[in-house]
Structure 1
Amino acid sequence: MFFVLSKVGWYLVQPLVVVLLLLALGLFAVAVRRLRTGLALGGLSFAILAVVALSPLGLLMMSALEERIPRPDLPAEIAGIVVLGGSFDTRIARTRGEPELNDAADRVTAALALARRYPEARIIFSGGSAALLADDIAESIPARQLFLELGLDPERLVLEEAARNTAENAVLSRKIADPQPGETWLLVTSAFHMPRAVGCFRVAGFDVLPYPVDYRTPSGSAVWQPSSASIRNVEKVHFSVREYLGLAVYWMTGRTDALFPSA
């Protein structure tokens, strides 16, 4: 039930969906001769879209998430690496028969670099199907193909193909890893997603060393400079809003150990 409600709820509160709903309400108000209400709703929808598309709002929101958990100094030895799904376009992989990476590709490339640095470490890729209505494949299917094509020893790769969200990533990865006292396990996911991931892994009883990747904001004063491609600004607000809502809902339902987990 949680999975279904989270998918439906997020669809309705996406920034662009909110803009369209406000605009639709405004047009309806005009149609029923509520002109002032209609103009107010239309103006509000335009203002929201302008701020989201043209301002540094998305950069600032995402930067706060990305800076929450810094990348650590790596130890001399580790037992394994847990890589969270989210880096493959499964619709393309399913229909074209080949793996296709998306904007979160750094999760895979960083994991492969770490695998070379630690040749004895196990690699757990956690990713099932997050589709709600359409039939889809587990993300672990294209992940296996790509990891092996890029030279990872199949003996080191373990696939977790049932997780549909971050909380399930944590619980199911812990069962597979069966971490022992004194072992160090790295957790690889996008930097903006790392606070929620760390909170989930702590609740699951899996002590991991967070290794954030896939940074999407610059550092320093450059974070105040929005992209000239407005869709990139919209995208950052979109993913930031989803992450902040996810943090709040996960905390309220006991899936993370804090509202805004830190290192």
Structure 2
Amino acid sequence: MFFVLSKLVWFVLSPVNFVIILVGLSALLAFTRFARAGRWLGLFAAVALGLMSFSPLPRATIRPLEDRFPQQEATKGPVAGIVVLGGAVGVARGDVVLNSAAARMTKAMELARLHPEAKIYFTGGAANLISEVTDTEADGARMLFDGLGLDPKRLVLEDRSRNTYENAVFTRRLADPKPGERWLLVTSAWHMPRAMGVFRKADFPVEAFPVDYWSKGRPDDFIRPYGRAPNALEIAANGFKEWAGLVAYRLAGYSDTLFPGP
């Protein structure tokens, strides 16, 4: 129920979708006695779209998330296992497809080479709500890691999870971590606080290894505008989704704290 509700709510509240809904509502009100309210609503939508497209707002939104868990020294070890969260890979026309979070996969391969004793646990199923899916994220991960030369005996795939909560619960069952073992969690830096909260709640002691940064970590992150609206809108969507997800996961009891930290 939580999965379905979260998909429906976010479809409406996703920044770009929400602005489009406001524009549509504004257009409808323009032909009624509430035309004045419609104009103000349209103006609000235009300003919101402009701020998300060209101002530093998206980067300022995502920067605190990315700063929460600092990146570690990759060579520090030994490591029993590396958990890689889905959200970066898929399959289309029988081939691997990577999106803007591809650093999750490339960093996992880098860590696998640095720590040849570690198992690689990839967790990601199919999160589609409506369309039928024949290929999961795990299928894409298998194809990618195989093509990059990872020993298949080191790879463990979890292909049932649909969200971060299920990533943690299902992977823990597969990994069965032992006391004293060191496990790394690889996911996008902006997603790491929520992921760490869920893994802690699932009693899976992992160390954060964030990748895939959108912000530069410099003071001008808060003043530098964007030159391309699509990039800014993607960052805004990810940032707002994570803040909303932190609240939702805390309310659902999937995390013990609102903003997990080191």
Show the counterpart of 2:241: 242
Partners of 1:155 and 1:198 in 2: how far apart? 27
Partners of 1:231 and 1:209 in 2: how far apart? 32
Alignment of structure 1 residues 23-42 onto 2, 5 Å: 23-42=23-42
How far off is 1:222 after superposition? 2.7
How far off is 1:221 after superposition? 2.0
2:153 paired with 1:142:
no
Show the counterpart of 1:57: 57
Query: Which residue of the other structure, out of 195, 207, 210, is the alignment partner of 1:209?
Result: 207
Query: Which residue of the other structure, out of 174, 190, 205, is the alignment partner of 2:188?
Result: 190
2:97 paired with 1:100:
yes
2:168, 2:199 within 8 Å by CA — same for their partners in 1? yes
Q: Give the match's secondary structure for 2:96.
A: coil
Moved more, 26-35 or 42-51: 26-35
Partners of 2:174 and 2:34 in 1: how far apart? 59
1:186, 1:208 within 8 Å by CA — same for their partners in 2? yes
Partners of 1:119 and 1:38 in 2: how far apart? 61
Show the counterpart of 1:14: 14
How far off is 1:101 after superposition? 0.8
How far off is 1:169 after superposition? 0.4
Show the counterpart of 1:125: 122
1:129, 1:163 within 8 Å by CA — same for their partners in 2? yes
Partners of 2:32 and 2:212 in 1: how far apart? 48
Partners of 2:61 and 2:38 in 1: how far apart? 30
Show the counterpart of 2:260: 261
Partners of 2:35 and 2:7 in 1: how far apart? 34
Which consecutive unaligned segments of at least 5 residues does structure 1 have?
none
1:55, 1:226 within 8 Å by CA — same for their partners in 2? yes
- TM-score, normalised to structure 1's length? 0.96
Show the counterpart of 2:232: 233
Partners of 1:144 and 1:259 in 2: how far apart? 34
Show the counterpart of 1:81: 82
Moved more, 135-144 or 222-231: 222-231
How far off is 1:129 after superposition? 0.4
**Quick one: which amino acid aligns to residue 164 of structure 2?**
T
1:186, 1:210 within 8 Å by CA — same for their partners in 2? yes
How far off is 1:233 after superposition? 1.3
Partners of 1:34 and 1:175 in 2: how far apart? 56
Moved more, 77-86 or 64-73: 64-73
Q: Deviations over 1:176-196 (max 9, x none)?
A: 111111100000000000000
**Quick one: which amino acid aligns to residue 162 of structure 2?**
R
Show the counterpart of 2:45: 45
1:59, 1:226 within 8 Å by CA — same for their partners in 2? no
Q: Give the root-mean-square deviation of aligned CA atoms.
A: 1.0
**Quick one: which amino acid aligns to residue 24 of structure 2?**
A
Q: Deviations over 1:96-143 (max 9, x none)?
A: 101111111100100000000000100000000010000112100011
1:127, 1:140 within 8 Å by CA — same for their partners in 2? yes
Moved more, 31-40 or 182-191: 31-40
Partners of 2:69 and 2:137 in 1: how far apart? 26
Show the counterpart of 1:157: 155
Q: Give the match's secondary structure for 1:135.
A: coil
What is the count of residue pairs matched by the alignment?
A: 259
2:53, 2:226 within 8 Å by CA — same for their partners in 1? no
Partners of 1:65 and 1:30 in 2: how far apart? 39
How far off is 1:72 after superposition? 2.4
1:85, 1:126 within 8 Å by CA — same for their partners in 2? yes
The runs of 4+ residues in structure 1 deviating greater than 6 Å are none
**Quick one: which amino acid aligns to residue 32 of structure 1?**
T
How far off is 1:167 after superposition? 0.4
